[in-house]
Amino acid sequence: MTFNCADSFSRDYPEARAKFQAAAAEAGGVLDAVAHPERGPDGGELAADIAWFGPRDAERVLVMLSGTHGVEGFCGSGAQVHWLRRGEARRLPAGVAVMMVHAVNPYGFAWLRRVTEDNVDLNRNWIDFSKPMPTNQAYDSLHDIFCPTVWTEATRADTEAAIQRFAAEHGPMMLQTAMSAGQYAHPDGVFFGGAGPTWSRRTQTAIYQQRLGQARQVAIIDFHTGLGPWGFGEQIVVAHPDSPEFARARRWYGQAVVSPMGGTSSSADIVGDGLSATPAILPHAEVTGMALEVGTQPMTLVRNALRADAWLHAHGDPRSPEAAPIKAQIRDAFYGDADDWKGMVAGQSMLVCRQALAGLTAD
């Protein structure tokens, strides 16, 4: 039988959710959902969907997480549906379970935003808000350049020129760190970490606590896009290269595993990410987290898509005619809507899921 992996991917959030629910049910999963308080642009329901496969009391669990960054959910949803349609749920090792969380940030997925309904980057939101907020002075100095209040051809050109001057003076990685490491002072800006735990953070925490209380070993694969070459999946472990977690990830996935803390990743060293926060949520478990970061467009195009979308929601109208080209721009920046890209995602995601299950079994 011919199998077209591109069919596992979707054109929008409602289609992705329907495909996931159907594939999970057909694969014998136990399904649940947590409804989001907002609605999609079509007025439809938004939710984080959960599917469980294998023994409910399994001490070894693989978690597959999609949609942490909303619009990046096209990739993670396609990987999840592909895994299900290929019958992988029927081949789980004895005593091992899989939990899929589809669209943990459903608002961002449906509205084609990387952020949540309150403009928060979920992967900068996992900090202790009872303590003083982290500072990012480089971002502070560039905020008005990153996020001008007027978005015209002239302001785009002027601000991009200023960004390039900063990069020429301080280096590309310093620019990336300034923009993407996380900031907590500008709610209308990019990579804003929030003023408190978001709905998505609270929901993900509850899902983990309610369903993984029995687990002793947890592997997490969190699907992301937007950094790196077209279709290449960088395996990022947000742990120090000298840590046991990083060594364990290398045993499971191989020597291609990289760490932002070691300067080997295309990602800046960030604050407030969900993978780093998980061990505190599951103190009884050994957690091995990995982000599969799939490349899409050149960094300049990705950056400008984020800037345009931030302007649209802070100063424009996301339901106006001017929104359509901006939404197309951000969709293209985080979703390679082409068969070769989808095939690369399907193959690489299948490999790392099998490696994670083998690692859980071996360890």
Tokens linked to 363 = 């360890």
Q: Average pLDDT for residues 114-123, to the nearest whole number?
A: 98
Domains of the chain: which residue ranges? 5-130+191-293+335-362
Q: What is the pLDDT at residue 261? A: 82
Q: Average pLDDT for residues 3-16, to the nearest whole number?
A: 94
Q: Tell me the per-residue pLDDT of 248-261, one tens digit each, with 9 for 90 and over.
A: 999 999 999 999 88
Domain 5-130+191-293+335-362 has CATH 3.40.630.10: yes
Q: What is the pLDDT at residue 1? A: 46
Average pLDDT, the chain: 96
Q: What is the pLDDT at residue 266? A: 74
Burial 320-352 (b: 16+ CB within 10 A, else e): eeebeebbebbbebbbbeeeebbebbbebbbeb
pTM: 0.96
Q: Tell me the per-residue pLDDT of 71-114, one tens digit each, with 9 for 90 and over.
A: 999 999 999 999 999 999 999 999 999 999 999 999 999 999 99
Q: Which residues does 43 contact at the CB level (< 8 Å), separation at least 6?
A: none
The dihedral region occupied by 226, where left means phi > 0, alpha psi between -120 and 50, and beta the remainder, is: left
d(CA 358, CA 363): 9
DSSP H or E segment with residue 212: none
Tokens linked to 258 = 């990289």
